[in-house]
Each structure stands twice: as structure tokens, then as C-alpha cells.
Amino acid sequence: MNAFIGTGAAIVTPFTEEFTIDYPALEKLLNHTKNLDYWVINGTTAESATLNSEEKYAILDFARKHNPTKKPIMFGLGGNNTAEVVHQLQTADLSGVDAILSVCPYYVKPTQQGIIAHYHAVADASPVPVLLYNVPSRTGVNMDAETIATLAQHPNIFGVKDASGDLVQGMRIVNSTPNDFLLLSGEDTLTIPLISIGAKGVISVIANVLPDEYSQVINDALNGNFPLATTEMGRLLDFNEALFEEGNPVGVKAALSAIGIGTPHVRLPLVQSSEELRTKLSQQLAEIKLEARKQVFFSNFDAKAAI
């Protein structure tokens, strides 16, 4: 699944003042991120837990119709009720969807054997390839490397988004799965070291706001220029940390609002970002953009001086 190598954005769901879906803002966001390698629709960052089924598929349909660069689309479809996930996969209109992102069952804390059985049922039912999603901080259970290696043998499972934050686990996944099995980062700040051990990209939050800047980091890392990628990421670290200070996608929605895309509104039980966080994010964005302009200026100056 080379379509999902590189940088994908976990697209947020903009809301109006009345907490309905803000489709004009969503269109602006899709255009803002159109140069990324792919989109993830209805992931955790989309506040999928507070979207009803009608809204989820309406957003998917909107993304299919507003895809100017015809990029691949991954759709989040998972849960802790295996039978319900299977039913959705069998009945949903997934035309135009290139892959499913399916989260490890949350809250119920299944055994590793339960996780394997769940994903086998999901992969058997899915009309498109499945990407596993391991995010222990949200699900309460880690899908370990041995389990992932077992699941990698299923012909309809092509990779894993790993947000365990465990680089050793990342190495174990790479070393125990086929060469064409994709390890994708689920943590923006850990993507560079994960790429150094064999990961092929990231499903990103920060790319909603800084698609060009962050995808350049990832491209440099994938091309083996780790010193440059590390320097570039260093300029984004404080901003990335601030994005998660009050929860996700609280921070990223505040940052998007600062650049004119949507409002900071989130649905309960999340609450809107504080004024302090919005001010911080706006200041950091201004500094990042200023630094980028400086880099372009001095690069051009050096090029002219060399002539």
C-alpha cells in the first residue's frame, strides 16, 4: 500500500457556533492540506466519538467530492463491539475509500488473543485493506509486537499506526513483519526516530495546521537526511507540545482558527481551548512562519552570492 507512505493528516471536523458540521470550513481545510500524501477521515482527531453515523458518512462523502488532487482516503471505522464494526463494513458505502483505519478495541481491555480474533473478523468483512491502530493511552491495552506480527499474516491487513510511544516495540514490529507491511507513526514528535528504524510515515495531527512544513520534515527523514529533518522538527516541537496541552483536537482546532479555518468549537465532553492557549498558539505560529521566511531569504541570498 504505497499510497500511504509519507504524511497523512487526521482531518479534524470543524463545527459551527451551533456545533453542527461547518462544511465551508471543512472545504477550506481540505484545500489547505491538499498537497499531503493522503487524508484520514473520521479518526480520533475528527471527534468521531461524538459524531453520529449519518454525520460520519456525510463527512466522508464531502471529502470524496472535494478532493482536488485525488489523494487516497483512509476512513476510521472501528470500535469495541466487533459485530457492529463488521455490520458497518458490510453495509456502508465505502466507494472511493482506499483503506480502513480500525482502532484496537477500547475500554473492554481484551487479551491479545481477543485482539487477534477481533481484527480477523474485521479484516474478513472489510471490502478494502485494513490498517491496525494501536493507541494504548486511549484504549487501555497495548497491541504488542507479537500480536501485530500475527495479524500481518492476514492478506487484508497491510500495516499499523502505532501510537504506543515505544521505539523498542517499533523495532520489534519492523523485524517481525513482512517488508511490505507498513509501520506508520501515530505520534508526530516520534516519527523521525521511527522512520530511522523502518517506519514509512505518519498519520499526523500537526499536519492539519502546518501541512507543508511538517511534510517536509517527513520527506527529509524518508530520504535519509535525518540531521536536516531533526533541525526542522526542532522548530515545531514547542508548537506541537502546545497543541495537546488541553486535549486533542482542542489545540489543533484553536490553531486552525488562528489561521482562518473554522472555529475553536469542540463537542462535549471536550471544551473549547482557553484564551491563554489560543494566544500561545497564535504567537508560536507567527514565529514559525517568520523563521520559515528567514530560511527562504537566506537560502536565496546564499544562492545569489554563489553565482
Helix (H) or strand (E) holding 293: helix 275-305
Mean pLDDT score, 169-184: 97
pLDDT at 295: 62
- Domain-located, residue 282: no
Q: Which domain holds residue 121?
A: 2-221
Q: Indicate the pTM of the whole model.
A: 0.93
- Catalytic residue, chosen from 71, 161, 253, 280, is 161
Is 161 a catalytic site residue? yes
289 band by pLDDT with thresholds 50, 70 and 90: confident
Average pLDDT of the chain is 94
Is 50 a domain residue? yes
Catalytic one of 133, 214, 253, 280:
133
Per-residue pLDDT tens digits for 25-53 = 999 999 999 999 999 999 999 999 999 99
Residue 177 assigned to a binding site: no
In the chain, the number of structural domains is: 1
Instruction: Flag whether 203 is marked binding.
Output: yes
Pair 252, 44: CB distance under 8 Å: no
289 is annotated as an active-site residue = no
Q: Alpha-carbon distance 213 to 307, whole Å? A: 28
CATH at residue 200: 3.20.20.70
Look at residue 261 and tell me if it is in a domain. no
pLDDT of 98 strictly over 80: yes
SS3 track for 43-101:
CHHHCHHHCCHHHHHHHHHHHHHCCCCCCCEEEECCCCCHHHHHHHHHHCCCCCCCEEE
